[in-house]
């Protein structure tokens, strides 16, 4: 395999002599030109999008990184006189195991591998590290995959899943079924949650945190998906050059004429308003017809039978049909112009046609005067009727998406938790010619996760070497203009238009439309809308805006991350033109710096935009990561973990220890031959520098 060819540049950029943005960019560029897309910064994996298929994945590569080595483990256990999970080369794989005293044994294990010496940087290597850390340290792990839109985050998550599937080995039929559900759930979520954007042909338009749960043998036996903020505005409004969600095009390309008749589909993508606004119907590297077959298979695996699938496809058809309903206006009152579509839609959804028309062209308004509550029927004009139509369409799609997530979670549900690995895959930073609420929400989440990375990586150098929140790694500076406002994000300044911002932030469906859906003769449609409809004077005023939901969901996911041992994949997009193995020299700027005060390093945001050619290098903080890995104490472990794993190498602790844990760590480090400048004892943790 090419990945074991002659080294190009530095595999680990902590070995760079010149730690500068230019040197980092040059190292990554040379490696990319040679077809090498993975590089380490200590334990952080940098992944450059090559925009071409590379022969560095698949069964052969998985075998190298994940191959079962039970004989090696048995020998190691005999040599060390301990009982631990049997996984080959686990000492060399785990970051906290790189102690000088272990080096001869590590080399012995490496010599038993097919490929001698350190393995090249690879996402499989990070994944096996993460898995073995979980099993040995008995701590939950997570991987944060970050980068701008189109940098390859979803693809990286897919490779991580395939590696976990391999490294965890085969198990019972139940274990294998769980693995199949986890794998196929990604196919379903990609079909219903991804779309082509200007910058990415397969962009995630929702955020997800996939938690894979393991049993004591290290095999997946459950899981859960935490989903946050689906970009449902895309269902009804498209930007030039973009597509709606993949599943609509899959449905229209993959259905036979007979099936289209059954689902109420009339025409192709060009015939539906929700799809033809941008006049883009295909996308690179996507075969919608074949993808539809894959989606159907995946739905079957996660537990959606054929009958339910047909209802799902009918709901999708109903959404497209809704978009084709037009209105005319007479004396400020809207009236549908295509009665046949109303009839077709009412049959698909199992609702009364007259009620459907009434709810689109009128609304009941509740007013309070003194202690009295009055209900008034108000007619809609054309614009209001179109808004009601689009609101219903977005609600149908988002509720359908929530249903699919629930089906997946029900299939993965288990009674008790043991250990887990979380994979965070979200949309990346976005800045277009025109930006509104959707880009604001995406960039808010991206900003919050960047803060997590900085807090867990940089603020470790603060007093007592414990993470504190006194220094923020980013600031959001706001400038308000006449018809737009500017936010200076860590990744760059973005102008957001006021127009439509407030309306898009609204995340509510009127009681009238909820009642309409709950009146459906189809139980599936009824169950999609479990919302409570309040009667006159019962209150229940809705305050759940889109921004409130995003904030709540994001904080929940961050809470999960902070409870795990984190790993990082920093994805880089180097070419707007998606040129294979090309490094675009003209698109980058600068943002994060470290400053030294009293011998300690602190993050600081440089807010003035300076043109340069390595923007992702700077806004991802790669140079600062190198500095902190070279000069700081980036590896941290609880005292109990160090004593449990390495107590055997010190005479004072090898037969057990009941005294002060910090003192025990000092004995272990002394026995291991660690230089006193390579470690610091904290309150509850030992902090180590990256090994040279």
Q: pLDDT at position 586, please? A: 52
**Which amino acids are annotated as binding site for ATP, given as ranges?**
147-154
pLDDT digits (tens, 9 = 90+) for 676-688: 888 888 888 888 8
pLDDT digits (tens, 9 = 90+) for 618-658: 777 788 778 777 776 767 788 888 888 899 999 999 988 98
Q: pLDDT at position 534, please? A: 55
Residue 326 lies in a domain: no
Q: pLDDT at position 608, please? A: 38
Q: pLDDT at position 123, please? A: 96
pLDDT digits (tens, 9 = 90+) for 646-657: 999 999 999 889
Residue 522 lies in a domain: yes
**pLDDT of 75 strictly over 50:** no
* 558 and 679 share one domain: no
Q: What average pLDDT does this structure show over 170-199? A: 94
Residue 510 lies in a domain: yes
Q: pLDDT at position 484, please? A: 87
The Cα 467–Cα 455 span in angstroms is: 7
Banded model confidence at residue 251, pLDDT cuts 50, 70, 90: very high
* 561 and 642 share one domain: no
Query: ∠ CA(532), CA(536), CA(540), 5° rounding?
Result: 40
**pLDDT of 70 strictly over 80:** no
**Structure tokens given for 666:** 């000092």
Q: pLDDT at position 376, please? A: 84
- What is the tally of structural domains in the chain? 2
Q: Return the half-sphere exposure (C-beta side, CA atoms, 13 A cut-off) of residue 393.
A: 27
* 569 and 683 share one domain: no
Q: What average pLDDT does this structure show over 495-517? A: 85
* 563 and 647 share one domain: no
* 525 and 659 share one domain: no
**Higher model confidence: residue 667 or residue 431?**
667
Residue 100 lies in a domain: no
Q: pLDDT at position 535, please? A: 52
Q: pLDDT at position 459, please? A: 52
Q: pLDDT at position 4, please? A: 54
Q: What average pLDDT does this structure show over 289-302? A: 97
Residue 184 lies in a domain: yes
Q: What average pLDDT does this structure show over 149-153? A: 88
What's the burial of 104, exposed, middle or buried (CB within 10 Å: 0-12/13-18/19+)? exposed
* 648 and 499 share one domain: no
Q: Return the half-sphere exposure (C-beta side, CA atoms, 13 A cut-off) of residue 492.
A: 22
Lowest mean pLDDT among 85-89, 193-197, 376-380, 549-553: 85-89
* 655 and 555 share one domain: no
The pLDDT > 90 percentage for the chain reads 47
Residue 343 lies in a domain: yes
* 655 and 554 share one domain: no
CB 462 within 8 A of CB 530: no
Task: List, as one string, the DSSP characters of 307-331.
Answer: HHHHHHHHHHHHHHHHHT--EEEET
Give the three-state DSSP class for 255. coil
* 565 and 657 share one domain: no
Residue 18 lies in a domain: no
Banded model confidence at residue 140, pLDDT cuts 50, 70, 90: very high
Domain that holds residue 389: 52-67+118-231+331-459+473-533+545-573
**Which amino acids are annotated as binding site, given as ranges?**
147-154
Lowest mean pLDDT among 279-283, 318-322, 412-416, 442-446: 442-446
pLDDT digits (tens, 9 = 90+) for 30-60: 999 999 999 999 889 999 999 888 999 988 8
Residue 86 lies in a domain: no
Q: pLDDT at position 457, please? A: 63
* H helical segments located in 375-510: 382-412, 437-457, 501-505
**Higher model confidence: residue 627 or residue 461?**
627
CATH number of domain containing 218: 1.20.120.720
Lowest mean pLDDT among 285-294, 405-414, 496-505: 496-505
Short-list 66, 357, 420, CA closest to 225:
420
CATH number of domain containing 639: 3.30.70.1590
pTM: 0.82
* 569 and 639 share one domain: no
* 568 and 674 share one domain: no
Compute the mean pLDDT over every residue in the chain, rounded to the nearest whole number. 81
* 429 and 513 share one domain: yes
pLDDT digits (tens, 9 = 90+) for 556-578: 888 888 889 889 999 998 877 78
């Amino acid at each position: 395999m090419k990945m074991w060819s002659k080294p190009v540049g530095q595999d680990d950029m902590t070995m760079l002599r010149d730690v500068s943005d230019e040197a980092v960019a040059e190292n990554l560029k040379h490696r990319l030109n040679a077809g090498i897309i993975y590089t380490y910064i200590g334990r952080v994996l940098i992944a450059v999008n090559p925009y071409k298929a590379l022969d560095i994945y698949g069964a052969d590569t998985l075998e190298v990184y994940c191959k079962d080595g039970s004989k090696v483990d048995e020998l190691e256990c005999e040599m060390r006189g301990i009982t631990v999970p049997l996984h080959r080369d686990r000492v060399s794989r785990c970051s906290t195991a790189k102690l000088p005293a272990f080096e001869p044994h590590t080399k012995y294990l490496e010599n038993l591998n097919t490929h001698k010496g350190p393995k090249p940087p690879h996402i499989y290597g990070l994944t096996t590290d993460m898995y073995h850390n979980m099993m040995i340290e008995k701590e939950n792990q997570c991987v944060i995959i970050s980068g701008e839109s189109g940098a390859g985050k979803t693809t990286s998550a897919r490779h991580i899943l395939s590696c976990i599937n391999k490294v965890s080995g085969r198990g019972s039929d139940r274990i294998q079924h769980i693995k199949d559900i986890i794998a196929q759930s990604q196919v379903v979520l990609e079909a219903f949650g991804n779309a082509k954007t200007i910058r990415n042909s397969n962009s995630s338009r929702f955020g997800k945190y996939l938690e894979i749960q393991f049993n004591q043998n290290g095999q997946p036996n459950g899981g859960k998906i935490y989903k946050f903020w689906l970009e449902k505005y895309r269902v009804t409004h498209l930007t030039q050059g973009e597509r709606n969600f993949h599943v609509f095009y899959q449905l229209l390309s993959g259905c036979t004429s007979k099936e289209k008749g059954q689902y109420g589909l009339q025409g192709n993508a060009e015939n539906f308003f929700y799809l033809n606004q941008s006049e883009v119907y295909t996308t690179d590297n996507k075969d919608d017809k074949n993808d539809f077959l894959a989606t159907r298979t995946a739905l079957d695996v996660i537990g959606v039978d054929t009958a339910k699938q047909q209802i799902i496809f009918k709901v999708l058809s109903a959404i497209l049909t809704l978009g084709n309903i037009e209105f005319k206006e007479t004396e400020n009152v809207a009236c549908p112009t295509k009665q046949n579509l109303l009839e077709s839609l009412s049959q698909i959804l199992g609702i009364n046609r007259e009620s459907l028309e009434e709810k689109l062209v009128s609304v009941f308004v509740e007013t309070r005067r003194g202690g009295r509550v009055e209900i008034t029927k108000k007619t809609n004009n054309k614009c209001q009727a179109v808004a009601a139509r689009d609101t219903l369409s977005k609600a149908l799609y988002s509720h359908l998406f929530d249903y699919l997530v629930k089906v997946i979670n029900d299939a993965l549900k288990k009674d008790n938790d043991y250990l887990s690995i979380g994979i965070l895959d979200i949309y990346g930073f976005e800045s277009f010619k025109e930006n509104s609420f959707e880009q604001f929400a995406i960039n808010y989440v991206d900003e919050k996760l960047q803060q997590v990375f900085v807090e867990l990586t940089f603020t470790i150098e603060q007093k007592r070497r414990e993470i504190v929140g006194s220094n923020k790694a980013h600031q959001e500076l706001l400038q308000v203009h006449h018809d737009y406002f500017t936010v200076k994000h860590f990744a760059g300044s973005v102008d957001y238009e006021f127009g439509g911002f407030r309306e898009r932030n609204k995340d509510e469906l009127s009681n009238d439309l909820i009642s309409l859906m709950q009146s459906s003769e189809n139980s599936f449609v009824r169950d999609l809308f479990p919302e409570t409809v309040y009667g006159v004077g019962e209150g229940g005023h809705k305050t759940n805006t889109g921004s409130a939901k995003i904030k709540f969901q994001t904080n929940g996911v961050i809470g999960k991350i902070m409870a795990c041992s984190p790993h990082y994949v920093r994805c880089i997009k180097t070419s707007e033109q998606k040129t294979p193995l090309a490094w675009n020299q003209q698109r980058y700027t600068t943002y994060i710096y470290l400053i030294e005060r009293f011998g300690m390093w602190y993050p600081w945001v440089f807010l003035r935009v300076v043109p340069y050619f390595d923007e992702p290098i700077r806004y991802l903080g790669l140079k600062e990561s190198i500095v902190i890995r070279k000069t700081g104490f980036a590896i941290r472990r609880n005292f109990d973990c160090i004593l449990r794993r390495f107590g055997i190498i010190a005479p004072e602790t090898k037969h057990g220890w009941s005294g002060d844990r910090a003192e025990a760590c000092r004995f272990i480090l002394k026995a291991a031959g660690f230089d006193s400048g390579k470690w610091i004892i904290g309150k509850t943790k030992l902090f180590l520098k990256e090994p040279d």
